[in-house]
Structure 1
Amino acid sequence: MKNYWQKIQLTAALSVTLLSSIVYCPALWALPVGLKTASIQFTSPPPPPDRGAAGDRGGAASRGCGSGNESLMALVPVYEQAVKQEQKQAISVTKVWGLTTVTHPTFWFFVPYNKSSIAAIEFVIKDESNKPSQTIYRTAINSPSNPGIISVSLPETTTALEVGKMYHWFFKVKVNCNNQQPAELEYVEGWVERVKPTSSLAEAIKQATPQQQVVLYAENGIWHDALNSMAKLRLDKPKDASVMADWTSLLKSVGLEKLAQQPLISIQN
């Protein structure tokens, strides 16, 4: 069995090819459903090649009115990659990119500001594979009542994300920390790509419990599905210690452990 899985992983690794910065589809493989590690760890797939998926998940200094001096953050992985330039020294590029298997994924963001300090919130997702770019979805978001983590889901009425295509998203917050000054714009941005799971992974997910599904998604590099599944568990079982431990472990695996104790806030849009 061990050699069998090693062969599958080796085959998947060799099948990854360098495509353009817009079309990129990493290989996926299914782990055994019965596998339940002591802590959930996200396994990062190879990031898009070249300059694809450059973005910013946040983490810069707060405007001064955020809770605990925290800053706006997108709950997504980041990759630091050296990109070579012709006859020039390689430069470091921060890539913000995650995978999903669904046509209309959900995104999660930490908003550190009090409602009174927020002038407006907007979410935008674009298809930039052609010029001019096409806006898939744009919506105003109601401000959360208190600082915390909120979600934004693409409605089923919007265009479905295509397999193998990358989409550029933006989450923008206009913050007014001083009524004597105009509101300032804070934003985070990144990329999402839909992938088609292998038949074995799809079957394993179908048979798994909700917590096992998180493990399968995370260890196969499918970030958005892992995070959304884990967030649903936390909302359904807010006092379950094992769920909280898994939530913390998942965030820690992508360097976001400081957000683990932040509340998940439901908003109406």
Structure 2
Amino acid sequence: MKKISTIYRPFICQIVPKMLSFCTIMAAFALIKLEPGKAFTITNSQSLLLGRQSTNQVMVKKPPKPPDSGTPGGHRTPAITRPEASCPEMEKPLTALFANNGNDLTISQYPTFWFYIPYAPEKISSMEFLLLDARERKTIYHTQVKLTNQPGIIKITIPSESKYALEVDQLYRWRFHLDCKPDTTDDPDLVVNGWVRRVPSSSEVEMGYDEIANLAELHFANPENQDLSKDWANLLESLGFTGLEQEQFVESELITLQN
């Protein structure tokens, strides 16, 4: 075997380590498992193959997350009572029956909202319901509400007219106001409020407005059905409402106001 000429030794000594280094780098990257659209990291063992020990990770940014499709928090019972408010405190307060869990969704263009009213009609000066856009600059629907006989659970369904229809993937704000005596201020005595987002009909909505409304309709249409009564009680318990399972559905009159 011929010896390598001393003339070429310096050149070979320079080029061979570089080739080995390049091969080592390629081998290290071959160990990295890549999946489309996901970040990858270089671990310590792979870093050793690259000729250095490092605790840092090399990251490729993931695609941005899609916009939040949930809902902000609301108030199922009045958060603040004005000092001059005329409504007496009740053991079971004014209550909006919705989950308030960040996923208050509906697939309906014209959803139904449910409320427990603890006061007799003669104790109430006025009640009103408003459906607003997300910025609360535009009123979509505004109605006065009147009890016809006694305290209990009422429902408010958005009228089936195109001008009131909720649009898919849009967020809306709703408010329910109750005054016990007329006064000169613009602030209502009691307020509950929340949010609703309409989603495509193919969406799976867990504990949204529709599930509550569907079971409420069945229960109040068949009050003697023990299975439905049990389901209704279980639903209220899961939502954190206690003491409302025995409350009856009561009729109310809705008087739509011009926007």
Give the structure-1-normalised TM-score: 0.61
Deviation at 1:59, TM superposition (A): 5.6
Residue 114 of structure 2: aligned partner: 108
**Cα distance in 2, alignment partners of residues 152 and 76 from structure 1:** 13
Report if aligned partners of 1:100, 1:222 keep a CA contact under 8 Å in 2: no
Decide which structure has greater strand share.
1
Residue 121 of structure 1: aligned partner: 127
Report if aligned partners of 1:150, 1:264 keep a CA contact under 8 Å in 2: yes
Give the structure-2-normalised TM-score: 0.63
Question: Which deviations, in whole Å up to 9, do the C-alpha atoms of 1:110-161 show, x marking residues without a partner?
Answer: 11011111000100000135xx721100111113421111001100123310
In the alignment, is residue 239 of structure 1 matched against residue 245 of structure 2? no
Q: Write the letter of the residue equivalent to 2:189.
A: L
**1:237–1:133 Cα change, 3 Å:** same
**1:135–1:182 Cα change, 3 Å:** closer
Aligned length: 185
Q: Write the letter of the residue equivalent to 2:99.
A: P
Residue 95 of structure 2: aligned partner: 73
Cα RMSD for the two superposed structures: 2.8
Residue 76 of structure 2: aligned partner: 57
Q: What percent identity do the matched residue pairs reach?
A: 29
Residue 53 of structure 2: aligned partner: none
Please show how residues 1-269 of structure 1 align to structure 2 within 5 Å: 17=65, 19=67, 24-25=68-69, 47-48=70-71, 53-58=72-77, 65=88, 69-79=91-101, 98-129=104-135, 133-157=137-161, 158-176=163-181, 185-198=189-202, 220-269=205-254
Q: Write the letter of the residue equivalent to 1:125.
A: L
Q: SS where residue 190 of structure 1 aligns?
A: strand
**1:159–1:64 Cα change, 3 Å:** closer
Contiguous gaps of at least 5 residues in structure 1: 1-15, 26-46, 80-94, 202-216
Q: Which has the higher contact order (CA 8 A, sep 6+)?
A: 1
Q: Write the letter of the residue equivalent to 1:173.
A: L
Q: Write the letter of the residue equivalent to 2:246.
A: Q
Question: Which deviations, in whole Å up to 9, do the C-alpha atoms of 1:227-268 show, x marking residues without a partner?
Answer: 111111112211111000000111111101321111111223
Report if aligned partners of 2:233, 2:245 keep a CA contact under 8 Å in 1: yes
Deviation at 1:64, TM superposition (A): 6.0
Contiguous gaps of at least 5 residues in structure 2: 1-63, 255-259
Q: SS where residue 107 of structure 1 aligns?
A: strand
Q: Where does structure 1 differ by over 4 angstroms across 4 or more consecutive aligned residues?
A: 59-64, 181-184
**Bigger Rg, structure 1 or 2:** 2
